[in-house]
Structure formats: structure tokens, C-alpha cells
Amino acid sequence: MAMLIARHGMSYQEAYNTTLVEFQVYNLAYAIQLEEKRHHLAIQAWFNQSVQATKGKGKNTKSAYKTFDDFYNHQEMFNSLFEAPKKQPKQVKVLTIADRNRLMNQRMKKHRKGG
């Protein structure tokens, strides 16, 4: 209920009377609204990077991204809102302190060798 009140400005009574289906519709609408905000922010960032971000030096500079879709694929992000959630990956093995120390020592040896 708190989410309905906070995100959608409902009163306590409206949130209390909301069904699960309505709740899901409100959340989908909220996700669409957030994606639209992200899209507008990405457009703003695109224009900013098109002025500032380049690859290369001197006269051989070129834009870091060829098109806006290379920078931010709005259609893909929008479509992902309607897809079923992906299954969570299997639990990652928790490393013991000894395993962490062993990995750190291996990395330090590689770093000292220069590779």
C-alpha cells in the first residue's frame, strides 16, 4: 500500500481498495513513465557527448557513437518492460578468506611481473 501512496499519490483508502491486477497496471505505468524519463535523459546525454566525446586525437577525431541507438536503444529498453522477468542466475559460490587471499596473491604476482 505504501508504494501506491508514494508512487501514485493515492489516498490510504484508494490504496487499500486496489486489487492485485490494478496494482500491476499501476506498476507497469510507472515503469513506462520511468523509461520515458530515461529516454529523455539519454537524448540529453547524447547531445552532450556529441559535442564533447570523441575518439582519436588531433584532426582524426570522430564521434564515440555513430547513431543514437548505438548510445541508447530506447525500443529495446521499452520492450523489456513487457517481457517476463528473467530467472535469477544460480547462487555464486561465496569465497572464503583463504580463497580471497589466494586470489589477491595471484594478482599481485601478475602485477609485479608486469602482465
Residue 68: which residues within 8 A CB-CB, separation 6 or more?
Answer: 42, 43, 46
Q: What's the whole-model pTM score? A: 0.51
Full pLDDT tens readout for the chain, 115 residues = 888 888 888 898 988 898 889 988 998 899 989 999 998 998 888 778 766 755 556 555 566 677 778 777 888 888 888 887 766 666 667 778 888 888 888 888 887 776 5
**Distance between CA 80 and CA 73 in Å, rounded?**
11
The CA dihedral of 98, 104, 107, 113, to the nearest 10 degrees, is -100
